Each structure stands twice: as structure tokens, then as C-alpha cells.
Amino acid sequence: MTAKQKKVLYRIIAAGVLLIAAALLPFEERSIPRLIAFLVPYGIIGWDVLWKAVRNISHGQVFDENFLMCVATIGALFVGEYPEAAAVMLFYQIGELFQGVAVGRSRQSISDLMNICPEYANIERDGQIEEVDPAEVETDSIIVIKPGERIPLDGIVTEGTSNIDTAALTGESLPRSVKVGDEVISGCINQSGLLKVRVTKEFEDSTVTRILELVENSASKKAKSENFITRFARYYTPSVVFAALALALLPPLITGGNWAMWIHRALIFLVISCPCALVISVPLSFFGGIGGASKRGILVKGGNYLEALADAETVVFDKTGTLTKGSFEVTKIHSHEMGEDELLDLAAHAESYSDHPIAKSVCTKFGKEIDRSRISSDEEISGHGIKAVIDGKDVYAGNLKLMSGQQINVPECSCKGTMVHVAADGTYAGHIVISDKVKDTSASAIRSLKENGVKQTVMLTGDAKAAADAVSSELGIDKVYSELLPADKVEKVEELLKNKSPKSTLVFVGDGINDAPVLSRADVGIAMGSMGSDAAIEAADIVLMDDDPAKISLAMRIARKTVRIVHENIVFALGVKAAVLVLGALGIANMWLAVFADVGVSVIAILNAMRAMRVKSV
């Protein structure tokens, strides 16, 4: 509870005691001393509501809950309902306090994430460690991270070994070990050894800054349910004010009397009609869902994506780096018309300029220094491979489509894995088989999705059909499309979007680096965040910080629970208010029942909304 909330609590206690004391004093009904006795607790508990109403009216914002409370309670004072006026204001403030505490708790997981922002960075100057603002540190600077300190900036370890606590970003309790050459990201905690890190990104571009911006902006992207409630409240509040005014004026004008009774009914009508339960509980539910997801290392960019994820029936996966580890190894070399060493030599030199994981695996297998002087030119052909001139030879290294484009015949091979075909001067030279291991949780992730109502799982990949079919069969994926170019993946997603049912959504899951066009085209794009890669955060609607595909079904359960709670609150709040409004208009409901219809319903709806924060992992 914040200091401000504590002050409100003290005012509630003081007003409550004075209200009881005023009720016990032996004053005559509707006497001046009795009015003053009840005005004291009314003023203590309601002065800020009165001030907000006056201020909002001066700014042109008339019809809000502050206005409703002021009209209802001041009207009650005028008709002699002094205890009811003070009690309505008291219970309204109790509801507001409860709401503030609930919002604070739903924000706590977000606030915990905000604590990952580092306060300082250690730079070694003249043999002394100096603490500086992380925003002042330039790239390529060497920073020192002591055990127990939070990593202030993204970089690469240049000295030392340690265990890194990534729980604040990924939700995982197990630490990650790092050594020289490993990448570390800001926001994690160095647990054991002293590390020296070369900074690779400035503070404004660091992982921690981008994540905080993502989470802070998530509230601006409202779900359809939130937008509905906002529009509903805009018309609902003035409608009930005019309805209460009609209830106060028309019956006595028509019947010719009993003004006090109808004004009293109109005031009860106003208290009942306050839309607090809806206006607060719906956004609170989505905020709670987003906060609960962030604690599990699932970053959701807005309530609209959470709502869309709840309706997912088709989940489409990229293969490499999503369902597989993306750590390629050369497993076989099949030469043709030349020796294996010569084939590997040509392939490594051709791939040496590429940053693709497959290219790096070929160079790693080669294990020798690349002689750049032998390479006259090197050109990457998107989605196909590499064209290079090596030792005066035209060398092509890539997939079957590259070979077909050069009218080069390729012999059949039954090997499972990704194949890099090599040709020199128009003659097929052989191929290199590269394997990529399936992630440990991929099979259970697919099973969990089907158990949670996903009707179709699809895999899109640029790999050869044999490699794609092997992974698909191992994981139990319903459909697989292989040997696709990036543009082909977009076409397949477009086709799947056309064939899905109108109310369902399509989710695409990729690594966020090569899949940006498909991520943005799907109804919901989920990226394997690689613990916060820039491309993943930019392209996707939802980011899995630890690259675990099993988190997809968890995100889906969070989304469905959040949406279910939102619908429960809307139906409950509107149902109770409609029933009590009718009772109030008929004169059956009194002011105490009106207080329940406002404060009581709000408290119950808020309690229900807080459930969105809690979802079991399994």
C-alpha cells in the first residue's frame, strides 16, 4: 500500500468513527445540529471527490463517477438523508481504495520487471573502478560486472566466467553459465565470478531499454473488449443522468405531487448506475494477464494481442531456431568429381561472407583460416544460396533451387538433414549434410497446444523435404511445407488465413530474425526472443524471452483465462446493475442496496480480475 493509499485509509477510519458517533447523537430529524454532525464525516471522506467533480466540469468532462457521486450525495443531504449521504461517500472511497490496491498488485509483476533497469555501470580507469551512468557508456567500452551486480549493458564477455540469473527476463530459475566470447544482455544478474564485458549496444538500444518500452506501451494497445467498455461508458453515463432527471421530474409533474419520494428514487438510481465495475475491472483484467505473462518470460505488446491469442485455432511454426535449436553441425560430406577436402574448401570459402548459421557451420567444419585473396567475388542469392568466384572458378553453394536455376543435375540422396549443394564451373561437385537438433520441449509443446484446443499445427521451412518431413514426423505436426523462399512463406500464411474460420485467429511462431514479413502478416506473431534480440522485439506481437516453444500454450492459457474473466465481469456487472436499476426506479431498492450495486459489484469484479495474474505452468 502506497503512502497516498494509507492516508485515504486513515480518512476512511476517521470518517467511519465520526459517522457512527453522529448516528448515536440524540439530535432531531432534519435539524441543523444533525446536519452538521453528518457533514463532518462527509467532508472528511468526500472533499477530494467534490473537488475532482468541480475540476472535471471546468475542463468539460461532466459525466463521470465523481459527478454521479456528488449529485447523489448532495441530493441526499437536501432531502434529509444525512446518514445515507455520508455512508454512500464512505463506501465509494472504500471501493476506490480497494481498486487502487488491486491495480497496484496487478502492476507488481510489471514493476518487478522495471527493476531490471540498471542504475550504474563500472568502468575501469587508471586502475580504478568508477561508477558511471549506463547512458554515458559508449560501444566497445569495457565494463566490469562484480558478483551480485545487474548487467547494465549488452555485450560480449572478454574476461572471466560466471553464472547469470536471467529470471527477471525469462521467468526461469536456473542460471545460465557464460564464458569468454559469450553474449550477455542487460537486466540479468551476475551471480558468481567477476566479468569484463565489451559493450556492443548503447543504453538506448540495449535489451533492457527496449523491453521496458515494450511493456510500458502495452497498455496503449487496447483489446476490443476494452474499447467497447470505453465507448459504452461514454454514452451510458449521460444516459443514466438524464434518466434519473426524468425519474425525478416527470412522475411528480404528471401525478401532481410527492416530489421528495421521486427525487429520492432518482438519487438511488444515480448511485446504482455508476459504471466503476466495468470501467476498472476490464482493463485491470488485461493488465493482470499481461503482468502475469511477463513474470513467466512472455512479453505481450498489448491487450488486443492477448484477446486475439485466446481465439487461436491454427499455429504455424518456422523450423530453424523455433522448433529446432538452430545450432548446425556438418554430419556428412558426399563429394562428386573431387575429394571431400576440396569440396569443403570450396564451400567454406563461398560461405565465408555469410552470417547464416548454416554458413558458419560449414566454416567451423573447415577449421582453417579463410584465404580472402582466392575469392574474386561473392554474392548472396536470397533464399537460394551463394554465388562466388574462387580461384577463377564459378562456384555455387546452396539448395536444390540454386542448382536447378543453373541447370545442374543433382543425384538423389536419402540423408536426413539440411544439404548444401556445391557446383564448380557448371559441374556438380557434391553436397554437405548439416543437422540441426530438435529442441527438448518442442514435442511436448505441440501436444500441449492440441490439448488446449488448437485444431491445426503447420510447419513452414526452406529446408529440403526429407529434413522437414523428419522433424514434422518426430513432433507430430499436422502439415509441413518445405523448400520455401521467404516470399513463399508469406503466400502460405495468406492461404491459411483465407481458409480459417472467421472468428478464429492464426498464430505464427518464428525466430524473429528472418521471419519478420510472416510475423507481421499473421493475426498474432510470436517470436523466440533469444533473450531479447532486437529483431524479435520489433517484429512480433508476443516475445518468448527464453526461446521455449512450450511457453506458447502457457501464453494461450493466460489469454483465454483473461478473456473469460473479462466476459464474466461484463455480464455480472451489467446484470446486477440492470436488476437493481429497475428496483430503484420502482422504489423497491433503498440507498444501501444502491451502494452494493456500485461498490459491492466493483469489489467483486476487481477480485475476479486479479485472478488473471495467476496461471499454473502445467
Which residues are CB-neighbours of 608 under 8 A, at least 6 positions away? 281, 285, 565, 568, 569, 572
Quote the cell numbers at residue 118.
540498471
Place of cell 569495457: 142
Convert 515-549 to b/e letters by CB count within 10 Å (16 or more is b).
Answer: bbebbebbbbbbbbbbbbbbbbbebbbbbbbbbbb
Q: How many CB atoms lie within 10 A of CB 21?
A: 12
Sheet holding 142-145, edge to edge: 128-132, 121-125, 142-145, 195-199, 155-159, 183-184
Per the document, the length of the chain is 618
Ranges of H-type helices in 79-196: 82-114, 167-170
| Catalytic residue check, 318 | yes
The C-alpha atoms of residue 215 and residue 545 are separated, in whole angstroms, by 13
The C-alpha atoms of residue 380 and residue 351 are separated, in whole angstroms, by 9
Residue-wise DSSP of 349-376:
HHHTT--SHHHHHHHHHH-S---GGGEE
DSSP class of residue 399 equals -
- With beta carbons less than 8 A apart as the criterion, state whether 110 and 299 touch: no
How far, in whole angstroms, is CA 317 from its chain's centroid? 19
The C-alpha atoms of residue 317 and residue 324 are separated, in whole angstroms, by 11
Given the residues 318, 345, 541, 548, the one annotated as active site:
318
Report the DSSP beta bridge partners of residue 377. 389
Farthest CA pair distance, the chain: 113
The C-alpha atoms of residue 557 and residue 560 are separated, in whole angstroms, by 5
The C-alpha atoms of residue 254 and residue 230 are separated, in whole angstroms, by 36
Q: Which residues are the active-site residues?
A: 318
